[in-house]
């Protein structure tokens, strides 16, 4: 019979030591098991399932380079390949990095760099939305389920007394595989101490994920790069696993190859003249991107993986194939931060963001931000909604006219053009909105700003034109 004291002694003996350019040295007879993501009927990650336990060993070494022939264990390959395992994670503790969200019954903290893209936070509208509705018992319950399944501890839930609501996890290490059969990080559970190669102790947390593919930019912690389609994916541990269950990731490679086959490098110079970012771009025509997206069909999880490839054309296709009903606010925030070209911005808005129930909220959020392409996205989204959303009311558009007025003084080219686009599209929607947009443009024209005067002049020229007047009479 194990006494409480002996059990405590056993836990204090447990440790994971990061070896310089080598494996994780595990001591203290820490249990090791395989864990697999299980999904619901909508293919959303729902729970974890332990599938296999390894024989208990007092000490053992786990592969960190991702190249061992005996994964998850180390076989010395790191020495042969010259693995660079330099630790790049900062020393900040969780709460010093966390962003907070509050709800009526629950609060949430979030450290985004810890995300490993396990996907549990996407269900039922997303954890952040559920926290906002946490006075509903069902929303509160699902929010806690999602937080507790987050393996990296990126998300943490708190009650209104400031008590952290953590699952009770026995000290152990999980070898993670997602629902597609793709090997992920090591899931360190139950507050096991982790020590750096130079002897520095990392913050002890209940849920931690360690990189085992060797590609993380936040070593020793996982940052989701095992899913990077541009570099080869996963951390599979056997030929059986490597050979099956990866349709989405295979598709990423197939889509990238298809895009490369349609490359038009001769068009890049002209695209640059039009202000499109050419870094990593292939020059694929938009009609070809639409044909690729149509062949793929809607696939939310594939869209998430394709976006990570970074290529502008891949990101446009990702927006085309994503399901707007599965789009969460935090995915929108993640994606908008990556946008660095006006055409990607506009395509993402037209093909995805405008179709989300969150679109109007994000206009308010992003229009007040300083980042150039984040702010452009707010006004591009207004323009797209004004052009395509037949269900939107006039009141919804009159409410954003003051937002357009405030944005009109921004001198940055990509912002002012989007402000102008938004104003013109509202004014072409119907006679009532035409009059409201013209009045707004006339007020903007009185502002002491060159950008504002350009926005107003260009908008008034079109909105007061005979062609627009005739179209609105129909």
How confident is the model over 171-194, as pLDDT tens digits?
999 999 887 778 899 999 999 999
How confident is the model over 285-325, as pLDDT tens digits?
998 999 999 988 888 888 888 998 889 999 999 999 998 88
Torsion of CA 285, 289, 292, 294, to 10 degrees: -130
331 falls in which pLDDT band (50, 70, 90)? Answer: confident
- CA distances to 103, 142, 144, 323 from 139, rounded to whole Å, are 11, 5, 9, 22
How confident is the model over 135-166, as pLDDT tens digits?
999 999 999 999 999 999 999 999 999 999 99
* Domain range list for the chain: 4-89+170-242, 94-158, 247-473
Q: What's the pLDDT at 21?
A: 96
How confident is the model over 96-122, as pLDDT tens digits?
999 898 999 999 999 988 998 888 988
How confident is the model over 403-438, as pLDDT tens digits?
999 999 999 999 999 999 999 999 999 999 999 999
Q: Which spans in 199-341 are helix H?
A: 239-242, 247-261, 268-273, 286-296, 300-307, 312-321, 329-338
How confident is the model over 438-450, as pLDDT tens digits?
999 999 999 999 9
Q: Does domain 247-473 have CATH number 1.25.10.90?
A: yes
Report the percent of the chain where pLDDT is more than 90.
66
Distance CA 19, CA 13 (A): 18
Q: What's the pLDDT at 12?
A: 62
How confident is the model over 217-262, as pLDDT tens digits?
999 999 888 876 433 345 654 333 333 333 334 578 889 989 999 9
Q: Which residues pair with 62 in a beta bridge?
A: 24, 73
């Amino acid at each position: 019979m194990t006494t409480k004291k002996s059990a405590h002694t056993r836990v204090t003996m447990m440790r994971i030591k990061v070896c310089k350019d080598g494996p994780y040295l595990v001591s203290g007879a820490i249990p090791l098991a395989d864990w697999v993501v299980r999904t619901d009927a909508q293919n959303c990650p729902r729970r974890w399932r332990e599938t296999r336990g390894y024989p208990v060993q007092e000490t053992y070494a786990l592969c960190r380079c991702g190249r061992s022939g005996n994964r998850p264990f180390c076989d010395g390959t790191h020495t042969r390949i010259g693995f660079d395992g330099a630790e790049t994670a900062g020393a900040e503790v969780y709460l010093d990095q966390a962003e907070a969200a509050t709800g009526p019954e629950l609060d949430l903290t979030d450290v985004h760099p810890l995300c490993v893209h396990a996907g549990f936070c996407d269900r039922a509208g997303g954890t952040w939305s559920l926290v906002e509705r946490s006075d509903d018992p069902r929303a509160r319950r699902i929010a806690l389920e999602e937080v507790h399944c987050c393996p990296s501890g990126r998300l943490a839930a708190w009650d209104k007394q400031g008590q952290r609501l953590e699952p009770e996890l026995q000290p152990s290490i999980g070898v993670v595989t997602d629902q597609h059969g793709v090997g992920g990080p090591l899931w360190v559970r139950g507050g096991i101490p982790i020590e750096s190669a130079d002897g520095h102790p990392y913050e002890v947390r209940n849920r931690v994920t360690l990189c085992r593919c060797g590609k993380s930019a936040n070593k020793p912690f996982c940052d989701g790069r095992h899913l990077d389609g541009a570099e080869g994916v996963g951390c599979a541990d056997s030929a059986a696993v490597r050979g099956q269950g990866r349709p989405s990731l295979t598709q990423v490679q197939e889509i990238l190859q298809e895009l490369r086959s349609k490359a038009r490098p001769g068009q890049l110079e002209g695209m640059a003249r039009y202000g499109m970012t050419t870094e990593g771009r292939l020059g694929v025509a938009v009609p070809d991107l639409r044909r690729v997206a149509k062949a793929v069909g809607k696939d939310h999880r594939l869209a998430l993986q394709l976006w990570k490839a970074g290529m502008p054309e891949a990101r446009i296709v990702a927006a085309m194939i994503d399901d707007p009903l599965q789009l969460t606010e935090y995915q929108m925030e993640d994606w908008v931060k990556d946008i660095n070209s006006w055409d990607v911005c506009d395509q993402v808005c037209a093909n995805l963001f405008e179709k989300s129930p969150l679109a109007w909220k994000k206009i308010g959020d992003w229009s007040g931000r300083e980042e150039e392409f984040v702010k452009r996205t707010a006004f591009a989204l207004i323009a797209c909604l004004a052009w395509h959303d037949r269900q939107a009311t006039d009141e919804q558009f009159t409410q954003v006219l003051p937002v357009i007025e405030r944005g009109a003084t921004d001198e940055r080219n990509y912002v002012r053009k989007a402000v102008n686009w938004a104003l013109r599209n509202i004014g072409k929607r119907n006679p009532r909105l035409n009059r409201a947009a013209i009045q707004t443009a006339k007020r903007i024209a009185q502002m002491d700003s060159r950008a504002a005067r350009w926005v107003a002049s260009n908008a008034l020229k079109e909105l007061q034109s005979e062609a627009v007047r005739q179209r609105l009479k129909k």
